[in-house]
Amino acid sequence: MRQTILISLAMASTLAISACQKAADGEVNRAIQAVNAIDDNNLSEIMLTVADPNEAVTYFRRATSEQPNRIDLKRGLATSLIRAKKNREGARAWAEVVSMPESGDTDRVELADALIRSGNWDAAEATLDAVPPTVETFKRYRLEAMIADGNKEWKRSDSFYETAAGLTTTPANVLNNWGYSKLSRGDYKGAEELFIEAIRYDGTLFTAKNNLVLARGAQRKYQLPIVDMGQTERAQLLHTSALTAIKQGDVRTGKGLLQDAIDTHPQHFEEAVRALRALEDNVTN
């Protein structure tokens, strides 16, 4: 009897130890999975921010093939494709994200952005139309403004640009786009004001400086605006102003500005030299 009890106790102890061991193994596995998840998230974040876009595409393609049901990895792939300027592939990748049950309205906004980048404006507009008006984000309004521009719905365009500019602390690019919209519809004064505002937010934005020169030139104001610019930038802006003057028939002014551009550029300014030679040849002929 006593032997039976001892055997029973021994078996019970063995089972208890086995159960404890399984519990411990389970905790260890969960801990390892948690660490791996943290590592994956950190690596994904690095790939989406500082990594080379093409390397990020390779990483996320491999990751999504191994774990095809993870929407975060599919988002990473779609984002990386857009960063790598593979816009058509990026649009297809965002469409795949949107098709997943866990997707949300922000994913649809990203899909619309990718569709615009790939030139599919109608599909982009339809995609944005499916996003509820309660989704009030900078990107959503910026895209709405661009689509309204394409449809020549100027009042809607202005409203969307204004809203988008108010939803970001770095509005230089959207102000530049808004200014270009006004430039394209002939509102040169309004465009000039927006380009100046864009440059105030970002003094390195050369596109806005160049557009400002175009807007001023359209008003026959060929003198360069008072903004910070390097020597090479100054030469390029003089070149832009010169071409604007020539197109408007102010040939003598344009010729002088071309010569200023050549003299200002720290190196050989081939484009300005060609333009001046062509101008002189036409005058001679």
Pair 63, 73: CB distance under 8 Å:
yes
Task: From 198, 223, 248, give the residue that closes a domain.
Answer: 223
Task: From 120, 153, 181, give the residue that closes a domain.
Answer: 120
Whether 51 and 110 map to the same domain: the answer is yes
Taking only the tens place, the pLDDT of each residue in 236-278 is: 999 999 999 999 999 999 999 999 999 999 998 999 999 988 8
- What CATH number is given to the structural domain containing 49? 1.25.40.10
Whether 142 and 218 map to the same domain: the answer is yes
257, two tokens? 């500005």
Q: Which of 169, 150, 197 is nearest to 160 (CA)?
A: 150
Taking only the tens place, the pLDDT of each residue in 120-136 is: 999 999 999 999 999 99
Whether 100 and 141 map to the same domain: the answer is no
Q: Within a domain: residue 63?
A: yes
Q: How many domains does the chain have?
A: 3
Strands, E, within the chain: which ranges?
Answer: none
In angstroms, the CA 244 to CA 249 distance is 9
- Sort 18 into a burial class: Cβ within 10 Å, 0-12 / 13-18 / 19+: exposed
Whether 256 and 203 map to the same domain: the answer is no
Whether 203 and 242 map to the same domain: the answer is no
Angle at CA of residue 134, ends 128 and 135, nearest 5°: 55
Whether 4 shows a pLDDT value over 70: the answer reads no
**CA dist 142 → 16, 214, 225, 227, 272 (Å):** 63, 23, 27, 26, 35
Taking only the tens place, the pLDDT of each residue in 49-94 is: 767 889 999 999 999 999 999 999 999 999 999 999 999 999 999 9
Whether 62 and 116 map to the same domain: the answer is yes
Q: What residue numbers bound the domain in which 179 lies?
A: 136-223
Helix (H) or strand (E) holding 75, with range, is helix 71-83
Q: Within a domain: residue 21?
A: no
Q: Within a domain: residue 128?
A: no
Whether 24 shows a pLDDT value over 50: the answer reads no
User: What does the pLDDT average to over 180-190?
Assistant: 96
Q: Within a domain: residue 103?
A: yes
So what's the pLDDT on residue 40?
61
Taking only the tens place, the pLDDT of each residue in 139-166 is: 999 999 999 999 999 999 999 999 999 9
43, two tokens? 């690596």
In angstroms, the CA 7 to CA 12 distance is 9
Task: From 173, 188, 223, give the residue that closes a domain.
Answer: 223
**CA dist 116 → 82, 92, 104, 163 (Å):** 11, 12, 19, 20
Whether 215 and 246 map to the same domain: the answer is no
Mutual orientation of helices 2-49 and 71-83 as an angle, nearest 10°? 20
Q: Within a domain: residue 23?
A: no
Q: Model pTM? A: 0.79
Whether 143 and 198 map to the same domain: the answer is yes
Whether 66 and 82 map to the same domain: the answer is yes
Whether 56 and 97 map to the same domain: the answer is yes
